[in-house]
Structure 1
């Protein structure tokens, strides 16, 4: 889970290179189901293991490379537009930790242990997306599998053994403090260094963000959609808030000025990846 502006800059650089022709993050008392929100069609096919090299291959520059700007998500069925979101006090007594300081410029990530194969990563991410994290208060919240896959691709390029300079770990680039918060909030004991638990921690945090912003700004509506008032990646809507907060931290999105999207490029990339990521064919 990325909470750094540096990631956004790296993704911007990767996008510029692509155009130039260079080529190629808690949870609360409940875990595991409901209907998946209408984000995108779920695609999945097995493939072989990734190259286990300490250097990310070209297609995961920055770590996960977004599709070209034209590969935007297919809108779901049209829904009535909501009024501008109005903030209500959060019900959470304890909130996630603040974002860490940006990593030093020029720092390179390190790799620890053996990298999970793509098939293993896919299975872990799919299982994590299939859990119901709020079975009592919001059983309908279920993080779409393509969204989990896309975030993991954007964050790590599905590299399970990568540790970023700012401390982000594994597939979902979960920060140690965020992992501790999720385990505390949901009374779990997930191991951030295990790729399967890492996937679950990331999906669990996404579910927490859906619940938080849905409660605070959208009257308990947890629908994730790309249409209507959320047609733009810059719009102050639920899915954009969730993605932006995963990257920058909830406090940079839920502000004194209301709901803002401070990192639209990151949001745009992940939205595009939910339908245009090569990882969906793994």
Structure 2
């Protein structure tokens, strides 16, 4: 049997060893953050319509979006090993796209508005809280519950797109005919209502948000099927410095210029509007609207 002094010495040494092991296992350095894939060029942002301040600097990093919490598989009751899921693609788009699965497509975008034209306003402006609620509801919807239930439109993407398009003004009507928060064209709204069996009113701020998010969801499936083997993740961390490297950038580009300018049968993926894409990507992390 050891003396009480010896026992006290042993206890002190044991506590010290445990503390040292704990400190070594936590890691002392900062976790490195990936560079911003598509927003690091320093181009100025397009100011919102209402003149609200938007930071001119693009962020140095973008957090991944749309990724749910990691789920640890429980042991198999039968004792057989649980099959590993097929890994999602981590490379860029296919050089040669697959044929499109959607044969009925939206109408082409309108011609540019004449220079010097000023937008008009129609109706009663929705409050900031009403707009926030409408955009949140639109992002939370499942647009392809049967054929592509894993398609999710990130809330930051919906908010940033609405800010880029209208500055969150629900009553604005652009010179090219775009209406409301998401600047939905009347012909595009009619097409989407027919495609999805809905009757959304493009001039209602809630329906306008649904229409804009529906179009983002349609573009996600259309481009995702052609170029990304039905991997519909709109994660920023899948993007590289090349704007045509990921589905997120392609969907943002197509929302602005139409699907036909981005995804063409037999042709590589294209991003013909890089400044628009960089603006929306920057707004996804830096927009003041994210705090509303």
Common topology (TM > 0.5)? yes
Q: Is the 8 A contact 1:167 1:175 kept in 2?
A: yes
Specify which of 138, 141, 153 is matched with residue 143 of structure 1: 153
Q: Is the 8 A contact 2:253 2:262 kept in 1?
A: yes
Q: How many angstroms does 1:81 deviate by?
A: 3.6
Q: Deviations over 1:124-166 (max 9, x none)?
A: 0000111100000011111111110000000000000000000
Provide the residue aligned with 2:44 in structure 1.
Answer: 15
The 1:175–1:73 alpha-carbon spacing in structure 2 relative to 1, beyond 3 Å, is farther
Specify which of 31, 51, 60 is matched with residue 58 of structure 1: 51
Q: Deviations over 1:212-252 (max 9, x none)?
A: 11101111100112224x13362342011100000000011
What is the distance in 2 between the residues matched to 1:152 and 1:219?
28
Q: Is the 8 A contact 1:90 1:215 kept in 2?
A: yes
Provide the residue aligned with 1:87 in structure 2.
Answer: 97
Provide the residue aligned with 2:29 in structure 1.
Answer: none
What is the distance in 2 between the residues matched to 1:203 and 1:113?
22
Specify which of 231, 240, 245 is matched with residue 249 of structure 2: 240
Provide the residue aligned with 2:56 in structure 1.
Answer: 68
Provide the residue aligned with 1:271 in structure 2.
Answer: 281
Structure 1: runs of 5+ lacking an equivalent: 1-13, 19-23, 25-55
Q: Is the 8 A contact 2:98 2:226 kept in 1?
A: yes
- Determine helix, strand or coil for the equivalent of 1:258: coil
Runs of 4+ in 1 over 4 A off after TM superposition: none
The 1:212–1:72 alpha-carbon spacing in structure 2 relative to 1, beyond 3 Å, is farther
Structure 2: runs of 5+ lacking an equivalent: 1-42, 66-87
Matched residue pairs, number?
227
What is the TM-score with the length of structure 1 in the denominator? 0.75
The 1:15–1:70 alpha-carbon spacing in structure 2 relative to 1, beyond 3 Å, is closer
What is the distance in 2 between the residues matched to 1:133 and 1:73?
29
Q: Is the 8 A contact 1:72 1:275 kept in 2?
A: no
Over the aligned positions, Cα root-mean-square deviation in angstroms equals 2.3
What is the TM-score with the length of structure 2 in the denominator? 0.72
Q: Is the 8 A contact 1:103 1:165 kept in 2?
A: yes
What is the distance in 2 between the residues matched to 1:204 and 1:155?
16
Provide the residue aligned with 1:127 in structure 2.
Answer: 137
Q: How many angstroms does 1:17 deviate by?
A: 9.1
- Structure with larger RCO (C-alpha < 8 A, sep 6+): 1
